[in-house]
């Protein structure tokens, strides 16, 4: 390389490559060169097409949600009231007496048979299973699950299962998106977007909470925040909410009287309540998986477990009938403060036993509504106690219940933003946002400190699946090729013979130890790249008199100096090469540097050292600054 930073020809320093008019041969090389796709464009026509598909998907998912809700009501009417009707009715008003214990057991038997002979994927509350499909199976969900999951959930909930309809609807919407993606010629990332869009549409159609539905998709399914994925999901959620408005109107899912802004002391108390919810969410999660482990040890086939688990549903339903079914009316009563403290405490105990045992048995159902019920009950109890102990603080038990239900879900699921926004959207109480944010953040913190996994990821972690739990910028996407490239490039002239180059390599001269060499023309522009194996390997094409230019068999794979290191790495993987000559966009035939695998590792090593300088507590165990570099 000369004093002006230009690359030498033939590996000889001091011979600068000067700009030359583009010759026909250079034009042909440039036209055929493999360059990275333009990453500066956030969207493309594929995103527009995907967005249109998601709008239709959202509408279909909303219609499916309506069908499932009415199917649950139909089965509830048949099971507990002996009438053929799809009118919304609570199973708590039944007159069955002791016979109420047998109804959930029948439902559990049916679900067990469906799982055994239909698809085992219908077991569970839906979201962890959907996450597993995203992470391990390219977002592919078998089409039969699209039918069996909502049907099994309708039977389970309609016969008294203490679950919300939202989990199965989310899973059904995700299955619809996955099936649609499998019918299209699209990438796995685009299929994941369709799956997440269907899941978000399901939640939006259930509660009329489109924003939190998008956040749920981001936090639990997409594991990213990119315009090309968020926009289709947002449009699907919007379409689903619009369809819901046609059927149910635009009212809040859990209406409550307006609440006033909290005082400073009350806000502190709500944050403390949230922290308590974080600890409680850890206990709830561990209890569910302890019960699941206990079922694993039973000496009977897993097909019978749902029936065994629903025995607890029936018993708890006999002593506390309001624990049966989805329990949305119970949540509303807690938020309006219309339940006595003793009733709330009893419902909390019975709902916890009923839900945790039945969910641990592997039946089909959801977690969001039960967690909201448990959190709302515990929040109510804390709010009443706080108001009695600190009357001057102005603690409102209704806000405490609101914070409790959101914080319980935030701690159990680690979906912080989803929990905050959801609680606001389903109540339309803006003055509750500040207590919700503080309480959910405290719950999230305590839960993360006390438990590594969440209720959504524990089962996957036991199977060896690592679920992303942090979202941060890709460090390679923030490094420019021009800043990390190796400028001292050894290039070879196309007129040199193979025999000459082999003798040069054998001599061990400076620069001869590289694994690849850009080949340039006599005019100084890039012709291609030859590897050490091309030149010295047993499959070398050509004899000692062959010129390097004649040995080039494919266009060069290059990268521009204004590309990111992420572009370069992806380009290496896509073309299975270990090095990329670097050129400028305005002079594409001129080699100004090279990027290799070692370049990437050096950049990553620098990032780690910088991180450890700024944050010593994040130091990697077993590594020190004096550790020897390895090639």
Q: What are phi and psi for residue 436, nearest 5 degrees? A: -65, -45
Whether the CB-CB separation of 529 and 516 falls below 8 Å is answered with yes
Q: What is the pLDDT of residues 205-223, one digit of tens each?
A: 999 999 999 999 998 888 8
Position 23 confidence tier, pLDDT thresholds 50, 70, 90: very low
Torsion of CA 528, 533, 535, 541, to 10 degrees: -90
Instruction: Give the mean pLDDT of the chain.
Output: 84
pTM of the model: 0.79
All residues at 6 or more sequence positions from 533 whose CB lies less than 8 Å from its CB, including other chains: 539
Position 152 confidence tier, pLDDT thresholds 50, 70, 90: confident
Most confident of 168-177, 377-386, 572-581: 377-386
Return the SS3 of 187.
coil
Helix locations, 264-415, DSSP H: 264-296, 305-319, 328-336, 341-360, 368-389, 397-413
Give residue 2's region: left, alpha or beta (phi > 0; psi -120 to 50).
beta
Helix locations, 125-209, DSSP H: 127-136, 143-158, 166-182, 188-207
Q: What is the pLDDT of residues 234-274, one digit of tens each?
A: 999 999 999 999 998 888 989 999 999 999 999 999 999 99
Between 141 and 591, the higher pLDDT residue = 591
What number of other Cβ atoms are within 10 A of residue 550's Cβ?
14
Most confident of 32-41, 116-125, 365-374: 365-374
Q: What pLDDT does residue 278 have? A: 96
């Amino acid at each position: 390389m000369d004093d002006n930073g230009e690359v030498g020809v033939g590996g000889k320093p001091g011979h600068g490559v000067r700009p030359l008019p583009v010759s026909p041969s250079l034009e042909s090389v440039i036209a055929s060169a493999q360059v990275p796709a333009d990453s500066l464009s956030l969207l493309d026509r594929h995103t527009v097409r995907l967005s249109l598909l998601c709008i239709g998907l959202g509408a279909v998912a909303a219609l499916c949600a309506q069908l499932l809700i009415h199917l649950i009501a139909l089965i509830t009417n048949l099971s507990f009231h002996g009438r053929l009707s799809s009118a919304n009715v609570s199973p708590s008003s039944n007159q069955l007496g002791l016979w109420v214990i047998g109804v959930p057991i029948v439902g559990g038997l049916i679900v067990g048979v469906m799982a055994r002979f239909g698809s085992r994927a219908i077991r569970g509350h839906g979201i962890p299973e959907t996450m597993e499909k995203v992470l391990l199976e390219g977002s592919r969900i078998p089409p039969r699950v699209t039918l069996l999951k909502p049907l099994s959930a309708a039977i389970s909930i309609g016969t008294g299962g203490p679950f919300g309809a939202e989990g199965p609807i989310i899973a059904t919407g995700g299955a619809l998106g996955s099936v649609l993606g499998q019918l299209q010629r699209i990438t796995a990332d685009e299929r994941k977007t369709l799956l997440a869009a269907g899941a978000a549409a399901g939640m939006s159609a259930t509660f009329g909470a489109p924003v939190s539905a998008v956040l749920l998709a981001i936090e639990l399914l997409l594991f990213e925040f990119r315009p090309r994925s968020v926009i289709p999901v947002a449009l699907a959620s919007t379409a689903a909410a619009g369809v819901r408005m046609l059927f149910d109107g635009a009212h809040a899912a859990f209406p409550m009287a307006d609440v006033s802004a909290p005082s400073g002391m009350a806000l502190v108390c709500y944050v403390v309540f949230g922290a308590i919810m974080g600890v409680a969410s850890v206990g709830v999660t561990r209890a569910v998986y302890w019960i699941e482990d206990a079922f694993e040890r039973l000496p009977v086939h897993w097909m019978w477990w749902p029936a065994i688990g629903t025995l607890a549903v029936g018993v708890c339903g006999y002593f506390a009938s309001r624990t049966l079914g989805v329990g949305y009316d119970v949540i509303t009563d807690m938020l309006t403060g219309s339940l006595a403290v003793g009733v709330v405490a009893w419902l909390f105990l019975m709902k916890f036993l009923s839900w945790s045992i039945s969910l641990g048995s592997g039946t089909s159902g959801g977690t969001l509504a039960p967690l909201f019920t448990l959190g709302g009950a515990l929040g109510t109890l804390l709010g009443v106690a706080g108001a009695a102990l600190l009357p001057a603080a102005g603690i409102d038990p209704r806000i405490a219940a609101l914070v409790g239900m959101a914080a319980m879900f935030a701690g159990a699921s680690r979906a912080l933003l989803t929990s905050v926004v959801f609680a606001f959207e389903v109540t339309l109480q803006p003055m509750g946002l500040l207590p919700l944010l503080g309480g959910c953040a405290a719950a999230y913190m305590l839960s993360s400190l006390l438990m590594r996994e969440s209720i959504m990821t524990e089962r996957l972690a036991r199977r060896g699946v690592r679920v992303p739990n942090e979202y941060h910028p890709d460090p390679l996407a923030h490094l420019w090729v021009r800043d990390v490239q190796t400028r001292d490039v050894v290039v070879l002239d196309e007129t040199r013979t193979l025999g000459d180059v082999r003798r040069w390599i054998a001599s061990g001269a400076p620069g001869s130890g590289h694994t690849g060499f850009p080949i340039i023309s006599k005019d100084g522009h890039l012709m291609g790249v030859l590897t050490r194996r091309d030149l010295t390997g047993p499959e070398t094409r050509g004899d000692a008199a062959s010129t390097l230019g004649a040995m080039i068999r494919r266009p060069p794979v290059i990268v521009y100096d204004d590309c990111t290191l992420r572009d370069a790495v992806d380009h290496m993987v896509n073309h299975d090469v270990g090095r990329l000559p670097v050129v400028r966009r305005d002079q594409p035939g001129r080699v100004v540097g090279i990027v290799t695998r070692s370049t990437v590792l050096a950049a990553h090593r620098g990032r780690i050292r910088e991180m450890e300088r700024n944050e010593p507590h994040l130091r990697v165990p077993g590594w020190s600054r004096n550790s020897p570099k390895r090639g």
